[in-house]
Structure 1
C-alpha cells in the first residue's frame, strides 16, 4: 500500500535520494524545499515551498498544501556552521537553532493532526553530534541535542495516538554537509570511507516500513572505517 510522506530538504543530497526512492516504489511524496527551482527534477506528488528560517510561515504553507493525512514526515533539512564558542556569531546561533530546532518542532506541531489521522511516523534525521559534541561544533551539536529532546518528548506524548517517533543518527555519510564540514576543518575526505546516501535512504525507508506492532525509537549508523576529521598538515 502506498504512503504519503513529506521529506524536508528534498532538493538535493539525502532528501533528493529519499524522494527518488519513495516515488519509485509508488509513494506519494510531498517534497519540501526553499524554492520552486530547488525541486526541478525531484519526483513528487505535491510540494511544500518554504524557507525554514521563517517558522511563522509554516502553518499557512501546510494549510495551502492541503495535508489532511500523513503517513510520515522525514525531518532531513538542516544547516551546519563550524565555529568555536568564542568565535561563533549570534547570527549563526539564531539561524542554526531556528532551522534545526524551532522549524522542526513547529512543522511537527502543525502536522500532528494529519499524522494522528494516519497513525503516522515522525523521523528526525539527527547526527552523531546529537549524542556527543566536538570542538567547533557547539551550535550544530546544541541544535541536534535539542532535536533529540523534542523526539523523546513527542514519543511519550503521542504513543497513545499511535504516532511513532524515531531519532536516526547517521555518521560520516557522503553529503554536501559532510564535505563542507571537512572543508571548514581543513580535513581530508575520502568518499570510499563514507556511507552512501543510497544506503542511508534505504535504512530510513526500512525504518518507516517496520510492522505496525513495533517501532525503532533510536538508530545510530556509521561506515565500517570512517575517516577521522583531522586538519591536514
Structure 2
C-alpha cells in the first residue's frame, strides 16, 4: 500500500478522499489547520498522522512538514483544501485577493515543492482539485477564478517539468458540490441551499481515486465532474 498526503482532510471533499484511501489500506498524512479536528479524524482513520498547517500562511509549510520527520517517499498528494470569496472586482479589496491566492495557489505550490523529493522517490501522483472557475470566469467570481486559473497553470507546468521523474499530475475541474463552501455561495447569492441538487463529496473522491488508480501506462491529466441530471 502507499502513502498519501490529503489537504483539507477534515471535511468535504478532502474528508471523502481520505476515507476512501483509508478503505483501500493506504497510510495517510491528514493536513489541515484545526489540530483538534485532525486529532479526532486520526481516531476514525487508525494509522494516519496529522500535518497541522495554515495554508493562509504559506511560509509555515516547510517547517510544518519538517516536523513530520523523515518522509522518504510519497505515492500521492491530493490538494483538496480551498477558500472562496465572491464579489465584483470594483468592490474586492486587495486583502481578499491575497488571501485567496495564498490558500488556493501559493500554499499549494509551496507544499508541492516541499514534498517533491518524496514524490520523485515514489514516482508519485499529484491531484489538484480545481473548479469550473479554473476554466472560465463569471461576473463576481473574479478573485476566486483568478486563483483557480493559476492552479491550472501550476498543474500544467508541474506535469511538464516532472514527467521525466515519473510524476503524474491530474487536475479535477468540479461543478457545484454539496459542501460548506457551496452553502457559503448560496448565502452570497441569497438562495436556498439544497444539497440534493449537487455532487456528493464522495462522488468527487471516487473520481480522484480513479485517476490515482489508473495503471502506470497512462496518465489522467484532466477530469471534469458536473452535477448529474
**TM-score, normalized by the shorter chain, greater than 0.5:** yes
- Aligned-residue CA RMSD in angstroms? 1.1
**Structure 2 counterparts to residues 188-199 of structure 1, below 5 A:** 188-199=192-203
Instruction: Show CA shifts across 1:114-136 (max 9, x none).
Output: 00000000000000000001111
The 8 Å contact of residues 39 and 50 in structure 2, kept in 1 or not, is answered as no
* Aligned position for 2:153: 149
Match of residue 94, structure 1, among 69, 77, 98: 98
Structure 2 portions without partners, runs of 5+: none
1-side partners of 2:30 and 2:5: how far apart? Answer: 6
Q: What's the counterpart of residue 228 of structure 1?
A: none
Aligned: 1:214 with 2:213:
no
For 2:141 and 2:170, the matched residues in 1 are separated by: 23
Per-residue deviation at 1:188? 3.3
1:32 aligns with 2:11: no
**What is the deviation of 1:177?**
0.6
Find out whether 1:121 has 2:125 as its counterpart.
Answer: yes
TM-score by length of 2: 0.95
Q: 1:46: which partner in 2?
A: 49
Q: Which runs of 4+ in 1 moved over 6 A?
A: none
Distance, in Å, in 1 between the alignment partners of 2:165 and 2:147 is 27
Question: Could you say which residue in structure 2 is the equivalent of 1:57?
Answer: 60
1:204 to 185, 208, 220: 208
Deviation at 1:187, TM superposition (A): 2.5
**Structure 2 CA distance, aligned partners of 1:180 and 1:7?**
23
Q: For 1:38 and 1:180, how far apart are their aligned partners in 2?
A: 21
Structure 1 unaligned residues grouped into runs of 5+ = 226-233
The 3-state SS of whatever aligns with 2:66 is helix
3-state SS in 2 of match to 1:136: coil
2:11 is the alignment partner of 1:8: no
- Structure with greater proportional helix content: 2
Q: Give the SS at the match of 2:51.
A: strand
Query: In structure 2, the residue corresponding to 1:32 is in which secondary structure?
Result: strand
How far 1:50 moved relative to its partner?
0.6
Match for residue 113 of structure 2? 109
Deviation at residue 35 of structure 1 after TM alignment = 2.3
TM-score by length of 1: 0.93
How far apart in 2 are the matches of 1:108 and 1:40? 23
| Structure-1 separation of matches of 2:194 and 2:60 | 39
Task: Find the aligned partners of 2:192 and 2:146 in 1 and give their Cα distance.
Answer: 25
